[in-house]
A and B are shown apart, each in its own frame.
Chain A
Amino acid sequence: MAEKMKLEIVTPYKKVVETEVEEVTATGKLGEFGVLPGHAPFLTSLKIGELAYKNDGITEHMSLNWGYFEVQDDKIIVLVETAETAAEIDVERAKAALGRAEEALKKLTSEDKEHKIQEAALERAIIRMQVAGKNVRK
């Protein structure tokens, strides 16, 4: 069994990450999950959430937008709309987005079309701040 897996994170704009990893955790549609080398072939869709991968004892956190996660033969392919490393996240902007989304949500009911959009925006902002925070503590 291989000790390490290959991880590729790809967005429509660029290939964000291509590296070897020991462990990956991500937020799937049905909840958080972890992947270690030797995992069975697995395909899931991702929610807006966090992805962390560990390599040589160093953990990197990333915030992901909607996407897919595929494992096959110790090769992980993550297809996402956006992916940001902790360093790339603009905390101020995330905070502002959070405020905006909260404001908007107060005025909307769950039946509105806007509601879903704003909710997603809120979620994205929260995740971004979470991920950025982790980077600071490290």
Chain B
Amino acid sequence: MASLKSIKKRIVSVKNTRQITKAMKMVSAAKLRRAQENVVAARPYAKKLGEVLQSLSANIEGDLHPLLEKRDAKKLLLIVITSDRGLCGGFNTNLCKAADRYIKENASTYEQISVMTVGRKGYEFLKSRYTVYKNFANVLAKPNYQTAAMLAQEVIDGFVAEEYDKVELLYNSFRTVMTQDITFEQMLPVAPEAAVASDETPVEFIYEPSVSELLAEILPKNIEVQIFKAMLETVAGEHGARMTAMDSASKNANEMIGKLTLQYNRARQAAITTELMEIISGSESIKG
């Protein structure tokens, strides 16, 4: 049996760990609330923009804009959004594995698959396996629209310059605090689901300026918003995942402390018993 002192030491260290995990849980809970509010606040904008885009694209013929152009998909760009920090359970690992699997499965379909990562964790995982074309780290601590816009510009420039023919986005979407869904989204070429809307509402809109000019503005905007939304969802998901992970870590620590305390008490009792035995046998021998 381990010595009293070493058990005591372990109890203290587990208690310290519990303190940390508890604190992290609280911090995550607070941050989660803010992040969640952000996600909820951004949703109407993204939704409305999608609607506008849909009503626009219902009225266009052919490829009016380079971002709508469907080329032979030979070169794929995969954008993987993960968090910068760890200690959030399987949040990043699952996503990275999904990315890995996806790349392996589709390796024969495309001539070239480039990877772009947002967030440190995804970068660290993927850079050892594939060449990461570009990484953006530390942008998620405070996701703002400008960052998303900058990222979108990169992607758009690359697409227009035919560096890649298809862009897909991979991220954890925030469903509930406990669950995040790994989500694939095709970003480019823009594929609006116009089929349903077009035959039931043939409303003649007045466009000012022309449709193509509006499209030229709205398409890049839509990509920005898509990225922005993905970033917000990732942040919210990260905090949710960390909160759950830290909660179960605290629970485990509690359990462990219980077990160790029991062990400690037993050891203490055993030590006392031995001591008593020694004293009694000592005094017996003096008497005798």
| Chain A residues engaging chain B, CB cutoff 8 angstroms | 8, 10-15, 28-30, 40-45, 68, 70, 72, 77, 79, 81
Q: How far is the CA of A70 from the CA of B203 in the complex (A)?
A: 13
CB<8 Å pairs between A and B, sample of 11: A10-B44, A12-B225, A15-B44, A40-B204, A41-B206, A42-B206, A43-B52, A43-B206, A45-B218, A79-B45, A79-B48
A113 to B37, CA, bound (A): 36
For B225, the closest partner residue in chain A by CB is A12
Q: Which residues of B contact A (CB under 8 A)?
A: 38, 41-42, 44-46, 48-49, 51-52, 55-56, 145, 203-209, 213-214, 217-218, 225, 228
CB-based A-B contact count at 8 angstroms: 67
Query: Cβ of A28 and Cβ of B208 under 8 Å apart?
Result: yes
Residues of B within 8 A of A44 (CB): 207-209, 214
Main secondary structure of the interface of B (DSSP, over half): helix
Complex contact A11–B45 (CB within 8 A):
yes
Interchain CB contact under 8 A, A14 and B49? no
* A residues less than 8 Å from B208 (CB atoms): 28-30, 42-45
Assess whether A12 is in contact with B145, with CB atoms less than 8 Å apart. yes
In the complex, A47→B213 CA distance in Å? 14
**What are the residues of chain A within 8 A of B38 when measuring CB–CB?**
13
Residue pair B203, A10 in contact (C-beta under 8 Å): no
Question: A43 to B207, Cβ gap below 8 A?
Answer: yes
Query: Which residues from A are CB-within-8-Å of B209?
Result: 29-30, 44-45
Kindly provide the distance from the CB of B55 to the nearest chain A CB, expressed in whole angstroms: 7
How long is the Cα–Cα vector from A68 to B207 in the complex, in angstroms? Answer: 11
Counting from the closest, the 7 A-B pairs by CB-CB distance are A44-B208, A14-B41, A41-B205, A42-B206, A10-B45, A12-B45, A41-B203
